[in-house]
Amino acid sequence: MDAVLVTAAIFGLLLCGCSVSGVEGIGVNYGMIGNNLPSPDKVIALYRASNITDIRLFHPDTTVLAALRGSGLGVVLGTLNEDLARLATDASFAASWVQSYVQPFAGAVRFRYINAGNEVIPGDEAASVLPAMRNLQSLRPAGLGVPVTTVVATSVLGSSYPPSQGAFSEAALPTVAPIVSFLASSGTPLLVNVYPYFAYSADPSSVRLDYALLLPSTSAAVTDGGVTYTNMFDAILDAVYAALEKAGGQGLEVVVSETGWPSGGGGAGASVENAAAYSNNLVRHVGRGTPRRPGKAVETYIFAMFNENQKPRGVERNFGLFHPDMSAVYHVDFSA
């Protein structure tokens, strides 16, 4: 979709207030580490014009939240990692956070989850995650009403192969286990960032590209106790499910809060063709569930909406579905 067509589609949506008709549960991360990105109102209109139904924000931004009023988009709202310590130890700060970023937009913005922290487990800030979650969750009677969770990377796993042997690492388990119990008590999913690309690019001679790109191939399949895995996305996700079950989280759901493939930047396999294949295969696939949980659709957020020019040089700048001028890097059929 070129820039002229995108602009025309956005203008039409702004005039008619049309609803979003894409695949529910497939969202896109809205990263803002760039100095040439479109204004938030144009970005939200681009989401709707592209049939994207859900959005993840890495941190609260009142201009973006205002642009989301009445959009119908489901919103995952993150806290800044640097705010975790105060959210954990200062209930009044947690209340102020909710009063600033949630309550003024409640009703007009469809909040799905609040995530306290992003990829801080294990690490120095890990101990603040659960107390921060508890403080934010305790405000639900005051009008929050939004499930509170956190985001982890798959580095929390100490074992992931074969998938049935998935288990949290010794470093992560003391922090993750009580979070799993907390989430299970409220029926709230854990958010996990899942990147087959980085597993592939770290060892392209050992990992088949078609297996990483969700292109089923019997030659690349992995067998685990009679279960066959034809793609790495399912294998990683089922390793997380296995780890959750070992930690007492039987039945706990997982939301894939980030996944994607770079279209350039010099990394192994980083190309427009491969990025388009991964994202489109993903959209078609996640509604089917995984071998461990067949038929259970996986709510998934692609990383990211734009190429961001202030991220580190290389592939990190090239995960976007769109260029900053809102022309497509490649097309994703969100109505698939």
Q: What pLDDT score does 25 carry? A: 78
Report the percent of the chain where pLDDT is more than 90.
86
- pLDDT tens digits, residue range 167-178? 999 999 999 999
Residues paired with 110 in a beta bridge:
74
Q: Please determine, for residue 6, whether its predicted confidence score (pLDDT) is greater than 80.
A: no
Q: Please determine, for residue 9, whether its predicted confidence score (pLDDT) is greater than 60.
A: no
Low-confidence winner among 67-81, 129-143, 245-259 (lowest mean pLDDT): 129-143
Per-chain mean pLDDT for the chain? 91
Residues 103-109 have a mean pLDDT of 93
Which positions are annotated as active-site residues? 119, 258
Is 2 inside a domain boundary? no
Band of pLDDT at residue 19, cut at 50, 70 and 90: very low
Q: Please answer whether residues 154 and 236 qualify as being in contact, where contact means their C-beta atoms are separated by less than 8 angstroms.
A: yes
Number of residues written out for the chain: 336
Q: What pLDDT score does 111 carry? A: 95
Is 51 inside a domain boundary? yes
Residues 234-243 have a mean pLDDT of 98
Is 16 inside a domain boundary? no
pTM: 0.92
Band of pLDDT at residue 260, cut at 50, 70 and 90: very high
Please give the single-letter amino acid code of residue 227. V
Low-confidence winner among 158-172, 213-227, 255-269 (lowest mean pLDDT): 213-227
Q: Please answer whether residues 146 and 134 qualify as being in contact, where contact means their C-beta atoms are separated by less than 8 angstroms.
A: no
- pLDDT tens digits, residue range 111-144? 999 999 999 999 999 999 999 999 999 987 566 6
Q: Please determine, for residue 240, whether its predicted confidence score (pLDDT) is greater than 50.
A: yes
Q: Please determine, for residue 220, whether its predicted confidence score (pLDDT) is greater than 80.
A: no
Q: What pLDDT score does 18 carry? A: 39
Q: Please answer whether residues 121 and 150 qualify as being in contact, where contact means their C-beta atoms are separated by less than 8 angstroms.
A: yes
The boundaries of the domain holding residue 76 are 27-154+189-194+254-322
Is 200 inside a domain boundary? no
Q: What pLDDT score does 265 carry? A: 97
Is 270 inside a domain boundary? yes
Helix or strand or coil: residue 334?
coil
Q: What pLDDT score does 158 carry? A: 97
Is 289 inside a domain boundary? yes
Token pair for residue 326? 């809102």
Task: Select from 14, 29, 24, 9 the least CA-distant residue to 306.
Answer: 29
The residue to which tokens 């529910």 are assigned: 24
Report the percent of the chain where pLDDT is more than 70.
91
CATH code of the domain in which 117 resides: 3.20.20.80
Phi-psi label, residue 17: left if phi above 0, alpha if psi -120 to 50, beta otherwise: left
Phi, psi for 26 (deg, rounded to 5): -110, 110
As a whole number of Å, the end-to-end CA separation of the chain is: 16
Q: What pLDDT score does 24 carry? A: 56
Residues 70-75 have a mean pLDDT of 97
Distances (CA, A) of 225 to 165, 177, 222, 296: 11, 26, 10, 20
- pLDDT tens digits, residue range 279-334? 999 999 999 999 999 999 999 999 999 999 999 999 999 999 999 999 999 999 99
Is 313 inside a domain boundary? yes
Q: What pLDDT score does 149 carry? A: 97
Residues 292 and 310: their CA atoms lie apart, in Å, by 39
Q: What pLDDT score does 141 carry? A: 54
Tally of domains within the chain:
1
Is 266 inside a domain boundary? yes
Task: Select from 301, 326, 260, 288 the least CA-distant residue to 52.
Answer: 301
